[in-house]
């Protein structure tokens, strides 16, 4: 009989083309500070350990056949944190891109970044743009980095763009439906997430993909983000595969 890890991997390998695996997994990477505090370490070391978890998770996502992985790396609300912590997070983002870009490109990973450019260090924005351009033709995995991102702001900006088109006579109010609204969002070229995972046991979305997650399966895991990796991802996908996604309709069992 296969062991638990083997069962999880078997379920997870249904991702990206099977009937039960998710094409798109989104993750709220929470718990770096708590992980550090539990070990008597400064928060900065928790964030560094979190970067290692990102590396493990990207590798696992490729191996498990996930097509899209969206990670919530810095929210628009995170600017309220102490300036020292913000500087450290920005520095980590720079180092991640510089250290990992070549490897991500070698692994055929396409990088996409969603979020606002304002307030972000121009040097960091240049690095981000270079990474996006270098990897734009890659096809193994689309890694979406939600950076300086807030879903409410994204929705407001989409509404403003559509309102401007109406004012210019390019659209009528009746032309605006959910599909057109989705196309005005920064995720227009992405499928909605099938599975959204939040680590550290907190049970809220924290202004992340609010429109896109309307029918997303949610999973809240007690593990802190620095301890996340292949096994935890496979466990989440196994749980997802056992769920019955109805999208407001009847269950598969009800229609069998």
Exposure string over 100-118, b if 16+ CB within 10 A, otherwise e: bbeebbebebbbbbbbeee
Q: Report the alpha-carbon distance of residue 221 to residue 233 in Å, rounded.
A: 10
Q: Is 238 helix (H, G, I), strand (E, B) or coil?
A: helix
CA proximity to 107, closest of 52, 53, 62, 51: 62
The 3-class SS string of 11-64 reads HHCCCCCCCCCCCEEEEECCCHHHHHHHCCCCHHHHHHHHHHHHHHHHHHHHHC
Q: Among all residues, which ones are annotated catalytic?
A: 30, 78
CB 103 within 8 A of CB 131: no
């Amino acid at each position: 009989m296969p062991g638990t890890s083997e069962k999880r991997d078997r379920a997870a390998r249904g991702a990206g083309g099977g009937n039960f695996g998710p094409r798109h997994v989104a993750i709220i990477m929470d718990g770096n500070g708590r992980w550090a505090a539990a070990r008597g370490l400064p928060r900065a070391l928790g964030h560094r350990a979190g970067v290692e978890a990102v590396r493990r998770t990207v590798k696992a996502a490729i191996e498990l056949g996930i097509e899209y992985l969206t990670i919530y790396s810095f929210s628009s609300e995170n600017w309220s944190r102490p300036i020292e912590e913000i500087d450290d997070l920005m520095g980590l983002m720079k180092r991640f891109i510089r250290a990992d870009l070549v490897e991500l490109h070698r692994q055929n990973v396409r990088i996409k970044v969603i979020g606002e450019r304002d307030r972000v260090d121009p040097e960091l924005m240049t690095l981000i743009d270079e990474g996006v351009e270098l990897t734009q033709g890659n096809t193994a995995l689309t890694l979406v980095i939600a950076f300086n991102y807030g879903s409410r702001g994204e929705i407001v900006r989409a509404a403003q763009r559509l309102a401007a088109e109406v004012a210019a006579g390019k659209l009528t109010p009746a032309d605006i439906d959910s599909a057109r609204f989705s196309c005005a969002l920064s995720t227009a070229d992405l499928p909605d997430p099938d599975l959204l995972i939040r680590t550290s046991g907190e049970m809220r979305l924290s202004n992340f993909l609010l429109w896109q997650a309307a029918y997303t399966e949610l999973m809240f895991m007690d593990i802190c983000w620095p301890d996340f990796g292949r096994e935890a991802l496979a466990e989440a996908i196994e749980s997802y595969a056992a769920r019955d996604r109805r999208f407001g309709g009847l269950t598969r069992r009800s229609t069998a």
